[in-house]
A and B are shown apart, each in its own frame.
Chain A
Amino acid sequence: MDFPGLLAQLLNGFQHGLLLFLIASGLTLIFGVMGIINLAHGSLFMIGAYVAFLVTRQWGSLWLALPMAMIGGILLGSVLERGLFRYFYARDHLDQVLLTFALILLFEEGRSLLVGNEFYSVPIPPLLDFSVPVTSGFSYSAYRFTVIGICLALAALLFYWIERTKTGAVIRAAAEKPEMVDVLGIDARRVHMTVFAVGTTLALIAGALAAPLYSVYPNMGDGFLIISFVVVVIGGLGSVSGALWSALIIGLVDTLGKAYAPKVAGLAVYVLMAAVLIWRPSGLFGQRT
């Protein structure tokens, strides 16, 4: 285990964790405010990655894909919320699970119809396809540095939005006591639509950023969805700051595990989750109930 190698893996883990945070924060926000678990959240990530792939193939630029993922996320999120999810907030868990499972199947079939079932790699933008020398003898991919930067900026924006703006205050109130928000005359439906659109957009952006690093392939959303669930469970359901910390932990554990103990790496995160459940069933950063 040489030092530059370890440093690279640590940075990889940090970057992986930040991407997981973009997915898991949407998941946990949507759950916290609307009380719905969106299994199709992984498919939204997949859609983002395929948007990046298609845009890069067509116009040769990933930078075009990011704004497209953003606009697409806002549109798709609003349409899904308005047209479908809105009617399921009061329904049984089972109905919500099957609804979102059906969406996964439909999104995957749509992907298969439009793009096919092959494995595609997405080139790193030429502008960033070089290594930044960090110390003598160690340099690190400029693209990964950029991803880290974008993720940190988005995370900061998200925290500012939730903690410091009026909309954020309403969102926190809606997560805490939805009846109170109604009583105060705030249109909860608009809050729901906003939160859903933001969550969707974050997932799509994460997908677009991830495409050059992880390639795009059928059912790619599944793995990220389940790891995001582990992140949410460890972080505490509904807690965005908990999601950040646990995403970073999971990202590091997963990446270091894959690098240094590939045979057991697949299990490491689940063992971690089991340990947290024994120790603190409501998550490391969740409120104790």
Chain B
Amino acid sequence: MLPRSTAGRVLLGAGALLLGAMPVFAQPYYVELGTYALISAMLALSLQLLVGCTGLVSLGHAAFYGLAAYTVYLITPANNGVSILITLPAAVAAAGLAALIVGALSLRTRGFFFLMVTLAFGQMVFFIFHDTKLGGGTDGAFLSRPLLSILDWELPLTRRQRPIATYYLSLGLLIAMYLSLVLILRSLFGRVLEGIRVNEHRMQALGFNTYRYKLAAFVIAGLLAGVAGHMWAMHRGFVNPELIGWHRSAEALLMILMGGLTTLHGPIIGALAFTGLGEFAQLITERKLLVEGLVILFVVLALPKGLSGIGMPRWMRRSPTTDGSARAAAEARTHG
């Protein structure tokens, strides 16, 4: 999951610096696009904890993302922004609570059952906002963006600076999320999750209550998706049911697959590539979904290891003999 080589770490650091320098030379439009890419990266990264680390393919992850964005809308009075110190915890808590309920039920099932159940619960959340007037119904609703303020003091920002501040806040949160996931994966908890992915029965035989570990991972992933959803609300100042819909969940899975299943930076690369590709597709054609479909087909058929699996010189790739998880997987196959 984590880059082992020094070269890999240097590359990641350079990528982060490049993202940090982007608003200095980029036009406002691209700063906004960059913010959206960073938010997508947060969503994909949060899902990676389930898909890549624990081996749980969820197709309802956008529910927590959208629910967090709607929470910001619901607690913000009309024409009056609320401090981010209130909106962010509230949005994240709502997403985490929903993840606890959905996870507790859907983790009673496995494999494809799990996939269908998460999809169905995700659509349930979708219909709550789509069919009722709770959050503006089908059309969605505008909201006053959360303020960067503490008590009565507000960060003085001009209209032009605000998107840049949102960009840096998203970047900071993404980096914080990445680093906390690194810590989580290095801990015993992370090792257990990896063990569950490779061979759940063996983990049970070792005495781990795998249900609880999976539920904890599901809730953490939901909380992190909530951070992404909150930043969406702050970025766009608009919520609609599409945020929750399962197309968004599938897109997050695609970002993971594009970037690479076996790394933690893969989903980030995948999200940036996916957003860039979507932008490019919009330039050349009106049929964005057609391009998206063909890209997915290409990735699934030709790039099963994702972007982070290609283009790297051999000395930078992890060799299978030193890679613990690959060895464990091979062992599990031979010993069943």
* Chain A residues in the interface with B (C-beta under 8 A): 31, 37, 91-95, 97-99, 101-106, 108-109, 112-113, 222, 226, 229-230, 232-233, 237, 263, 266-267, 270, 273-274, 277-278, 281-282
Residues of A within 8 A of B128 (CB): 266-267
A97 contact set on B, CB distance < 8 A: 57, 59, 115, 250, 253
Total residue contacts A-B, CB cutoff 8 A? 108
Given A93-B112, A94-B257, A108-B289, A270 and B296 contact (CB-CB distance below 8 Å): no
Contact call B51/A105, Cβ cutoff below 8 A: no
Binary contact readout B84-114 vs A (1 if CB under 8 angstroms, 0 otherwise):
0000000000000000000001101101110
**Interfacial chain A residues near B131, Cβ < 8 Å:** 266
Q: Is the CB of A106 within 8 A of B290?
A: yes
Binds A, one of B118-126, B142-150, B156-164, B199-207: B118-126
Most chain B CB neighbours (cut-off 10 Å) among A94, A226, A277: A94
Q: In angstroms, how far is the closest chain A Cβ from the Cβ of B289?
A: 5
Most B Cβ at <10 Å: residue of A37, A103, A232, A263: A37
Q: Which residue of A lies closest to B293 (CB)?
A: A105
For this complex, 21 residue pairs linking A to B, each with C-beta atoms less than 8 Å apart, are A37-B116, A91-B304, A93-B112, A97-B115, A97-B250, A98-B296, A98-B299, A99-B296, A101-B254, A102-B294, A102-B296, A102-B300, A104-B293, A106-B297, A233-B120, A237-B113, A266-B130, A273-B117, A273-B120, A277-B106, A277-B108
Q: Which B residues lie within 8 Å of A281 (CB)?
A: 108-109, 113
User: Does B287 touch A at the CB level, under 8 Å?
Assistant: yes
Chain A residues with CB under 8 A of B127? 266-267
B132 at the interface (CB under 8 A from A): yes
Contact flags B19-44 to A (C-beta < 8 A → 1, else 0): 00000000000000000000000000
Known: A37-B116, A274-B105, A277-B105. A93 touches B124 (CB 8 A): no
B55 to chain A, nearest CB (A): 9
Across the interface, do A226 and B120 meet the contact criterion of CB distance under 8 Å? Answer: yes
A101 in contact with B296 given A94-B261, A95-B304, A281-B109 (CB within 8 Å) = yes
Complex CA gap A104/B304 in Å reads 20
**B296, chain A: closest CB distance, angstroms:** 4
- In the bound complex, how far is the Cα of B209 from the Cα of A217, in angstroms? 47
A226–B290 alpha-carbon span in the complex (Å):
22
CA gap between A102 and B246 in the complex, in Å: 13
Q: Given the known A-B contacts A109-B293, A266-B131, are A31 and B112 also in contact in the complex, defined by CB atoms under 8 Å?
A: yes
5 nearest A-B residue pairs (beta carbon) = A105-B293, A102-B296, A270-B124, A281-B108, A266-B127
A282 to B117, CA, bound (A): 12
Residues of the B chain whose Cβ atoms lie less than 8 Å from the Cβ of A277: 105-106, 108-109, 117
Output the least CB separation between A118 and chain B (Å). 17
In the complex, A92 Cα to B56 Cα: how many Å?
A: 11
Chain A binding site: helix, strand, loop or mixed by DSSP? Answer: helix
Residue contact B116 to A229, C-beta cutoff 8 Å:
yes
Question: Chain B residues near A108 (CB, 8 Å)?
Answer: 289
A-side contacts of B256, CB under 8 Å: 94
Interface residues of B in 238-277 (CB under 8 A from A): 246, 250, 253-254, 256-257, 261
Q: Are B300 and A233 in contact (CB under 8 A)?
A: no
Bound: A109/B293 CA distance, A: 9
Chain A residues with CB under 8 Å of B108's CB are 277-278, 281
Task: Decide if A226 touches B123 in the complex (CB within 8 Å).
Answer: yes
- Please name 20 further chain A to chain B contacts, defined as beta carbons within 8 Å, in addition to the given A94-B261, A102-B297, A270-B121, sorted by A numbering: A93-B112, A93-B115, A94-B51, A97-B253, A98-B299, A99-B300, A101-B250, A105-B289, A105-B296, A106-B293, A109-B287, A112-B287, A229-B120, A232-B116, A233-B117, A237-B113, A266-B127, A270-B124, A278-B108, A281-B108
Give the docked Cα–Cα distance between A31 and B111 (Å): 12
Q: How far is the CA of A93 from the CA of B50 in the complex (A)?
A: 13
Partner among A95, A103, A237, A270 whose Cβ is within 8 Å of the Cβ of B293: A103
What is the bound-complex CA distance between A95 and B51, given in angstroms? 12
- Once the chains are docked, how many angstroms separate the CA of A95 from the CA of B301? 9
The distance from the CB of B88 to the nearest CB of chain A, in whole angstroms, is: 28
- Complex Cα distance A97/B257, Å? 11
With A102-B296, A229-B120, A267-B127 as contacts: A37 and B290 at CB distance below 8 Å: no
Of A98, A112, A263, which is within 8 A of B250 by CB?
A98
By a CB distance below 8 angstroms, the chain B residues around A94 are 51, 57, 253, 256-257, 261
Q: Is the CB of B297 within 8 A of A99?
A: yes
Q: Is the CB of B115 within 8 A of A37?
A: yes
Q: What's the nearest-Cβ distance from chain A to residue B251, in Å?
A: 9
